[in-house]
Structure 1
Amino acid sequence: MVRYRLLLTRLGQPREKRRLGYFVLALLAVFNSWLLFVYHLPGHTLFWYTLQDAGHGLIFLTLSLALCVCLHLLFSTPPTRVVPWVFGLCLAFGGGAELVQALVGRSPSWGDFWLDVLGTSAGLSLYLSSLSNGPVRWVCLLLAFALMWIDLSTPLRVHWAENQRQKQFPVLADFDNRWLNGFVRAADTARWQAVPPPVAWRGHDSNVARLDQFPGDWPGLHLFEVEPDWSNYTVFSFDVFNPSQAVARVTVRISDIAHNHMYPDRFNRMYKFKPGAQHIEISLDKVRSAPRTREMDLTRMKAVIIYTYRLNEERTLYFDNIQLR
């Protein structure tokens, strides 16, 4: 901070400092608006999306810290007034950014605004640490670190989950590993949870996926961002248990990264699950040749969805051991 003051003494009169201050404020507004509305990280996976969201905290950390330095040194604002001014300015900027998103067809997010608050608070803590000595400085530094840890915790957890997913491969989902479960979600009107197997599923003692399907267009179980390289395997398989006395008609859909979201451009096959337990195997040669106008790239696989088309009544199915062989 002393070095900044020595540099700024060369600017001359307070009017010149204020002009520089207004220029810096405008530059900060433009640069941070570009980061929030235009810039996107290069990846298209869950990790990159969560890191993009966590970037709100990093943006507002640097913004709040820069505003503190600007107001303190260029506008001669006392430190006791810098903190509330910067906190208010950053929250107004963050809230305004979310409102603007609503006006241009994007959804405003309270989660993003919360990350803005975390980043702002971390930046203010760093600023206060630069003005403090002894234990107070360390408290401010630890607070800033804790706030940014909260901000980055989600992408860090996703990154760890991706590592665990790679270690478990060729198992895609066994519903015992909570990290693998992070890449499973319900599709459409379905609901899923990892539970002990039903008593009637004899010889099965590990957790399974209970899929409750409610009337809808395509309720099902969605494995997203699966480990991509299936080229060294020949079979996709899973176990299913149908507790009902009625046959369940279910479609298995498998797609790669190049999938164009059209029905003929993926693997689709309808199966009839009889009452009780059964084991399903699908040749990966059939998966590869399933798209009508191309071959599926087994080195760049993306998703598996097990669903029912236009279900009219509620039902429950159990799944386990979704894997490659």
Structure 2
Amino acid sequence: MAGPTTIHHARSNTFGIWDISFISLYSPFLIIPFECFRKQKPITQVSIIIIATLLLGILVELGQSAFSRTPDTGDIFRNLIGAGVAICFLLPVRKKFPAKSMRLFKLTFVILIGLQIWPIVVALIDEQHARNEFPVLSDFQSAMQLDRWECGCAISIEKDIGCQGNRAMRADLDTQHYSGFTLKYFPRNWNGYQWFQFVIYNPSEEVIRITCRIHDKLHTQGPQLYADRFNKTQSIPVGWHTIAIPLDDVRKAPAGRKMDLSQIYAVGFFATQLPHPRTIYIDDVRLMK
């Protein structure tokens, strides 16, 4: 059996690394010592760097659509951090500014860089935990696990509510046509396992119908038809319930093909057209042999 060597479209190596690159990209570029630039007063040099950073950042963001990427104003902020690093640590005339002020600016930009890097550090730690914990996909014993999920509703990790008296994820479903949450970051190779299992809790006496959907990477590359993925709706009465889905059913679910269990892309849970908001809990999402 092939082991789970990768986390599907991992948080740390997609937008996170891309975002941090904006900090390093501008630092060396904006301090090129053109002769006309070096003759300017220190405050003028700083102003030129900041204005050039803003203008270049805005132009880059306006051109994002040409590369199938959504413009992000946060990139402009990261550009300015890069410019600040250049000014505080690399710009030759920085020594002409008051020492106390420069130390304060250096500390400020170090903190700002740390705040930008921290989410990537957290993602890397959780990705390693996910590899170590596999075939458990999410048991919510760590607050970091919440970032493995994308939500179309409010989600949180609650203590002393899980199926074994520990933690579980709470989802507050609303009355939109589809309201739910999706597991997006996990080891994607499910070959060698026979069951996909999760535990769900309905705290209400009123039955709720929850649909579980599973699809592979190939599904995302087409029109994403309902018949091209696995869908199963369950009526959940009050209390805790363990739901086990045969992976052979998942494999055979797409019409006209077999789902690739080595390339599972996402697992979703949702309710459809609820008449009023409902709360459910989910725990111990895992694969079983």
TM normalised by structure 1 equals: 0.74
Q: Name the CA distance, whole Å, in 2 between partners of 1:75 and 1:318.
A: 61
Aligned to 1:61: 27
User: Could you tell me which of 169, 179, 183 is aligned with 1:209?
Assistant: 169
Amino acid at match of 1:77: K
User: Could you tell me which of 158, 163, 172 is aligned with 1:195?
Assistant: 158
Corresponding residue SS for 1:65: coil
- Contact 2:37–2:45 (Cα < 8 Å) also in 1: no
Aligned to 1:229: 189
Q: Which structure has the bigger radius of gyration?
A: 1
Corresponding residue SS for 1:269: strand
Report the Cα offset of residue 112 of structure 1: 1.6
Q: CA RMSD in A?
A: 3.1
Cα gap change, 1:123/1:165 in structure 2, threshold over 3 Å: closer, same or farther? Answer: same
The runs of 5 or more residues in structure 2 that have no matched partner are 1-7
1:181-215 CA distance string (max 9 Å, x none): 2101322xx211100245xx7x7311111111110
Corresponding residue SS for 1:252: strand
1:173 matched to 2:138: yes
Total equivalences in the alignment: 273
Relative contact order (alpha carbons < 8 A, sep ≥ 6): 1 or 2 greater?
A: 2
1:88-142 CA distance string (max 9 Å, x none): 2212322444456699997553322211111110111232368659xx6x95877
Cα gap change, 1:65/1:210 in structure 2, threshold over 3 Å: closer, same or farther? Answer: same
Aligned to 2:4: none
Corresponding residue SS for 2:253: coil
Cα gap change, 1:106/1:299 in structure 2, threshold over 3 Å: closer, same or farther? Answer: closer
Amino acid at match of 1:204: Q
Q: Which has a greater percent of helix?
A: 1
Aligned to 1:238: 198
Percent sequence identity over aligned pairs: 25
Cα gap change, 1:146/1:313 in structure 2, threshold over 3 Å: closer, same or farther? Answer: closer
1:282 matched to 2:242: no
Aligned to 1:314: 277
- Contact 1:123–1:144 (Cα < 8 Å) also in 2: no
Cα gap change, 1:104/1:281 in structure 2, threshold over 3 Å: closer, same or farther? Answer: closer
TM normalised by structure 2 equals: 0.82
1:234-293 CA distance string (max 9 Å, x none): 111111111111211111001111113221111101111111111110111111111112
Report the Cα offset of residue 59 of structure 1: 2.0
User: Could you tell me which of 283, 300, 303 is aligned with 2:266?
Assistant: 303
Corresponding residue SS for 1:179: helix
- Contact 1:193–1:209 (Cα < 8 Å) also in 2: yes
1:292 matched to 2:258: no
Q: Name the CA distance, whole Å, in 1 between partners of 2:38 and 2:95.
A: 18
Q: Name the CA distance, whole Å, in 2 between partners of 1:101 and 1:298.
A: 34
Cα gap change, 1:111/1:76 in structure 2, threshold over 3 Å: closer, same or farther? Answer: closer
Amino acid at match of 1:309: T
The runs of 5 or more residues in structure 1 that have no matched partner are 1-42
Runs of 4+ in structure 1 deviating by more than 6 angstroms, as ranges, are 102-106, 140-144
Q: Name the CA distance, whole Å, in 2 between partners of 1:317 and 1:123.
A: 50
Aligned to 1:49: 15
Q: Name the CA distance, whole Å, in 2 between partners of 1:194 and 1:150.
A: 23
